[in-house]
Amino acid sequence: MKSGNALVIGGGVAGLCAGIYLRRLGFGVEILEQHSLAGGLATAWKRGGFTFENCIHWLVGSKDGGQLNAAWKEVFDVSRLVFFEDPVFEVLERGTDRLTLYRDPGRLEAELLDKAPQDAAAIREFVGLVRKIARLRMPEGDSLLRNALAGLGLVPLLPLLSRYGKLTMADYSKRFSHPLLRAFFSAGMGELSFLAIVFTLAWMAQGNAAYPVGGSLRLVRLLEDSFRNRGGALRFGARVERILVEGGRAVGVALQDGETRRADIVVSAADGHATIFDMLKGRFTNGRIRRKYETYKTFPSYLQVSLGVGADLKGEPGTIVLFPDEIIRLDPDTTAESLTCRIFHFDPTMAPPGKTAVTCLLPTYNEPYWSDLRRQDPARYEAEKLRVAAAVTAAFEARFAGARGRIEVVDVATPATVVRYTGNWKGSMEGWLYTPATGIRPLPCVLPGLRNFYMVGQWIAPGGGLPSALMTARSVSKRIARESGIRWKLA
């Protein structure tokens, strides 16, 4: 069979990457996106002259020749991004207690040993592991020789990966007695695999996880241009309600407005739960898939309080985790002991000259509270947003004297916002949480009993993130090429 027509549901990063790969293989591709812009979770919004970033802290693959860099180059012109690499990953601060987490392992170790000498053994073990992983090159790409060499390099580390892969962040936190180090490992997502932070710091140590200036909007614009310039069609306001199936084959989709679109293959880059249980009515699944949806934990949802500050906050950390005196109550089930603030003085596109955009992230698993409140009592929903914003603003102003009385814009996004604009199940910020139980083994990209249908994106790759959006799109496109009898040769 030669390449035919493909419909891609969802214009997030996975949908755009899948669209580009399929175009490069010769398929006619239409991406159907429910929202009025592409990007999904990788987005930002403009308010009163400020741009508030929702996603990118770092892009793995930013380094020329680094891991994943070649794959990003397959989907867009990476040289058009300007990367900023902060030497500091983040600063942790409680009152006068302060820890700076550097990206460079040597500086990180020196800082931690200086501030927490009582934890020397755990610090050396942790940083030593980061160093080992940073020296590693994971198998990727199409070169059998390179994959084999990478695989060989991995072998001596397998016992370590297996041992530490059984630990959560909360487990590892018990190794420390310094309160900020303990909090860093246990606050927020304590169930996250310990290896997640090790790999993140290792990519940073490699200089391969920098921030693209212009953030998500810039990245997504380049992907969108790459897709359109290759002749792909991207349609907005196109919410898919059903996937049409005839004789065990996906043959198209039905949109919310009743229109139907037919195609040779259908790829869903939308939320996994909605795809399997709503668009396909749960008809093509099995015990294994159901069990994962019943037992795997998702990443939390979140509130984001964004502040437009009429002052230049240069000199302050780019990312700071504050432990304010007062715990912030988010919703009936959730309180926040810490507040992660990103101070975008490093990105001039985010604010007018002399001003600074700030975003503060507050995770919660109580998405139903926010979605129900928004539907049932819009006035109280707004009041609740204002209440949380006031608490966050107070904590921020208490720490940053330069911002006091100079906050010009306050914007609050809630889990209900995440669900409305991206459709993600439970308002999850990255799909499945990567835990010792999930590992990083992907979920199936095809469903039992259904041909000509594939899934890509964060819901088939525990841990989520932009790399998994890219790499699932790549591997699924390869599979489609193979099953269609097409050579994997990108035009």
Ligand X SMILES: Cc1cc2nc3c(=O)[nH]c(=O)nc-3n(C[C@H](O)[C@H](O)[C@H](O)COP(=O)(O)OP(=O)(O)OC[C@H]3O[C@@H](n4cnc5c(N)ncnc54)[C@H](O)[C@@H]3O)c2cc1C
Q: Which residues of this protein are in contact with ligand X, per CB under 6 A?
A: 9-15, 32-35, 40-42, 54-58, 239-240, 269-271, 274, 361, 422-424, 429-430, 457-458, 464-467, 469
CB of 43 to ligand X, least distance (A): 8
Distance of alpha carbon 276 from the chain centroid = 21
CA distance 184 to 295: 26
CB of 363 to ligand X, least distance (A): 9
Nearer to ligand X, 58 or 369 (CB): 58
Nearer to ligand X, 32 or 395 (CB): 32
CB of 106 to ligand X, least distance (A): 24
CA distance 83 to 219: 11
CB of 484 to ligand X, least distance (A): 23
Residue 331 — φ and ψ, nearest 5°? -155, 180
CB of 312 to ligand X, least distance (A): 24
Contact criterion met (CB below 8 Å) for 112 and 127: yes
Nearer to ligand X, 271 or 347 (CB): 271
Distance of alpha carbon 216 from the chain centroid = 11
CA distance 254 to 239: 9
Nearer to ligand X, 182 or 342 (CB): 342
Q: Is 369 helix (H, G, I), strand (E, B) or coil?
A: helix
CB of 166 to ligand X, least distance (A): 25
CA distance 120 to 168: 20
CA distance 226 to 247: 35
CB of 255 to ligand X, least distance (A): 8
Q: What is the DSSP letter of 426?
A: G
CB of 222 to ligand X, least distance (A): 15
**Residue 439 corresponds to which tokens in the numbers above?**
């590992």
**Residue 33 corresponds to which tokens in the numbers above?**
């996106």
Nearer to ligand X, 34 or 484 (CB): 34
Nearer to ligand X, 11 or 324 (CB): 11
CB of 89 to ligand X, least distance (A): 12
CA distance 282 to 351: 46
Strand partners, 91: 100, 320
Q: Which of 132, 128, 150 is CA-nearest to residue 141?
A: 150
Contact criterion met (CB below 8 Å) for 40 and 16: no
Nearer to ligand X, 265 or 269 (CB): 269
Nearer to ligand X, 20 or 122 (CB): 20
**Residue 128 corresponds to which tokens in the numbers above?**
């030593």
Nearer to ligand X, 42 or 92 (CB): 42
CA distance 49 to 52: 10
